[in-house]
Amino acid sequence: MTISKGDKLPDVALVKATADGPDKVQSGDFFAGKKVALFSVPGAFTPTCSAKHLPGYVEKAAELKAKGVDEIACTAVNDAFVMGAWNDASGSSDITMLADGNGDFAQAVGLTMDGSGFGMGTRGQRYSMIVDNGVVTELNVEEPGQFKVSSAEHMLGQL
């Protein structure tokens, strides 16, 4: 079942990429008590994700925070080392990288995709959501191959 607006996020393990290395965190703890702009990409260092998705959130971070977002987070079915390296290469300290290495979060929210045709296996879909104290208040899931509704610009219009 796919998560919907008004639903509480499931509590699953994620790994936060930090300068000191991987840091395990439960999604229930991470999203508690704050408003988070979360976006999901099929994979770090992939073309659309690197050229448009992450850079858009980096560029719009101050505007998102000015509209009440406490934290901006990116998730992907990659390990914390890859997510950390991607943030070092293309991101910023304004973005928290949440590695979903086994795809548990993507599966728990019902937003997986089959990337096996590209040698990527099961991945998380491209989407964005606004999560307020663990509850989804906006959800923007892209159609396959698209990049429109999960952008930082679209999310700004929802705040």
Catalytic residue list: 49
DSSP code of residue 50: I
Q: Identify which of 75, 135, 65 has the alpha carbon closest to the alpha carbon of residue 99.
A: 75
Distance separating alpha carbons of residues 159 and 73, to the nearest angstrom: 16
Q: What is the sign of the dihedral through the CA atoms of 33, 141, 96 and 72?
A: negative
Using CB atoms within 10 A of its CB, is residue 146 exposed (0-12), middle (13-18) or buried (19+)? exposed
User: CB-based contacts of 8: which residues, under 8 Å, 6+ apart?
Assistant: 134, 135, 136
Using CB atoms within 10 A of its CB, is residue 81 exposed (0-12), middle (13-18) or buried (19+)? middle
Distance separating alpha carbons of residues 47 and 53, to the nearest angstrom: 9
